[in-house]
Amino acid sequence: MRELSSSEILELWERGVGLHPLDRGLAALRVADPHASDEVADWPVGRRNQALLALHAAWFGARLQGWTACPECGEKVEFEVDARQLAAAAEAEPPHDSVTVAEHAFRLPTSRDLAQVAVARDVESAPVALLRRCRISGPENPEWTDELLEAVGESLASADPLAETRLALNCPACRREWDDALDIGRFVWAEVEARARRILWEVHALASAYGWSESETLAVGAARRAIYLEMVHA
């Protein structure tokens, strides 16, 4: 995967600032691989996550470091995941294209499916709306019992293991154990944002050192200008 220039990082960040988190991940993937531009939204979620892991490893390094609060006592619990190891584990088990549960068959959900379900204001629940979109065959309006939803959910999870990565966490203070979903796109975006802010700081430092005006230093877009001014006047 190719390296990004400073201006490409800034462009990506500006484009992503106003986007839904799902679309920020896709925007980064489009920059990483312009040939895949039109398709990334239609990749199964696990394939997208695998590409995001590769992107994170190539642009920002393989370590995903984060923290979360213990649900029991509020203690800050840190975790670290190796993006390359996670991607390699999934490669050993390539995803299936579809799953069958009883008389129902579904294709793997994509980012586009998730986005459509996220913006839909239907009365039906999000899982049902998602499965309706991904239905290949079987009854059109089955009774969506909890058992059926659970069985389909489990089948999809094993057919596309990287679609959701669960982290096993435990609290050093109170010994509580729980698990949480790892949102790879969020990690990628946090790095894009941190890199963009660092670049802007460096530009600001240069401008101060040489007495340039901000407009001479930056060809400013609206979002970049707002953050730049916020930093200058902080």
Among residues 39, 42, 72, 150, which is the contact residue for Zn ion, using CB under 5 A? Answer: 72
Which residues 6+ apart lie within 8 Å of 221 measured at CB?
Answer: 14
Residue 69 touches Zn ion, criterion: CB under 5 A: no
56 φψ region: left (φ > 0), alpha (ψ -120 to 50), beta (else)? alpha
Both tokens of residue 198?
Answer: 């660092």
Residue 199 touches Zn ion, criterion: CB under 5 A: no
Angstrom distance (rounded) from CA 41 to CA 133: 15
Residue 231 touches Zn ion, criterion: CB under 5 A: no
Tell me the closest approach of the beta carbon of residue 170 to Zn ion, in angstroms: 9
Q: Which is nearer to Zn ion, 51 or 171 (CB)?
A: 171
Strands, E assignment, the chain:
63-69, 76-82, 98-101, 104-107, 135-137, 165-170, 177-182
Tell me the closest approach of the beta carbon of residue 66 to Zn ion, in angstroms: 17
Residue 19 touches Zn ion, criterion: CB under 5 A: no
Tell me the closest approach of the beta carbon of residue 171 to Zn ion, in angstroms: 3
- Phi and psi dihedrals of 100, rounded to 5? -125, 130
Q: Which is nearer to Zn ion, 11 or 75 (CB)?
A: 75
Buried b (16+ CB within 10 A) or exposed e, 76-107: ebeeebebeebbeebeeeebeeebebeebebb
Residue 14 touches Zn ion, criterion: CB under 5 A: no
Q: Which is nearer to Zn ion, 126 or 173 (CB)?
A: 173
Q: Which is nearer to Zn ion, 62 or 169 (CB)?
A: 169
Question: Contacts with Zn ion in 75-104 (CB under 5 A)?
Answer: 75
Question: Contacts with Zn ion in 153-182 (CB under 5 A)?
Answer: 171, 173-174, 176
**Interacting residues toward Zn ion by CB under 5 A:** 70, 72-73, 75, 171, 173-174, 176
